[in-house]
Amino acid sequence: MLLYEHNRTEDIISRLVAIAKMIRTSIIITYAFFGGILLALLGALATAKGNTVGGGFMGLLIGAGIGYLIGKSVAGLVTVFIEWMAQVLVAQGEIVNALKKRSQ
């Protein structure tokens, strides 16, 4: 028999929301970091020999900005997916609860 516990579902959903916030922050930081490093290396390699530091610094700034924007997009998709999981969990609980009431 299926058992539905509303308090347990609330606890699971609050943990999912906390995980989503943590994942969102870590995704944005990771994308900004690696984007900055990648474009810093490319900028240093692409500039003339006398200006590798300036090219690397500009690449770092531009890469971090692009990585931040891409990271926000990916983090938004992850957040939507986790919220969808929480909604499915609540809907399943409501369906089980309604079926229990109907069978009694």
Distance (Å) of CA 11 to CA 3, 7, 86: 16, 6, 11
Looking at per-residue confidence, does 55 or 36 come out higher? 36
80 found inside a domain: yes
pLDDT of residue 66: 95
* Residue 87 pLDDT grade (very low, low, confident, very high; cuts 50, 70, 90): confident
4 found inside a domain: no
Q: How much is the pTM?
A: 0.74
What does R_g of the chain's alpha carbons equal in angstroms?
23
72 found inside a domain: yes
Distance (Å) of CA 103 to CA 2, 4, 5, 96, 97: 12, 14, 17, 11, 10
83 found inside a domain: yes
104 found inside a domain: no
Our count of domains for the chain comes to: 1
CA dihedral (54, 69, 33, 57) in degrees, to 10, reads: 0
Q: Which domain holds residue 91?
A: 18-98
pLDDT of residue 1: 46
* Arithmetic mean of pLDDT, 75-90: 88
- 40-78 pLDDT tens trace: 888 888 887 777 788 888 889 999 999 999 999 999 999
pLDDT of residue 42: 87
- 2-35 pLDDT tens trace: 566 777 778 888 888 888 889 999 999 999 999 9
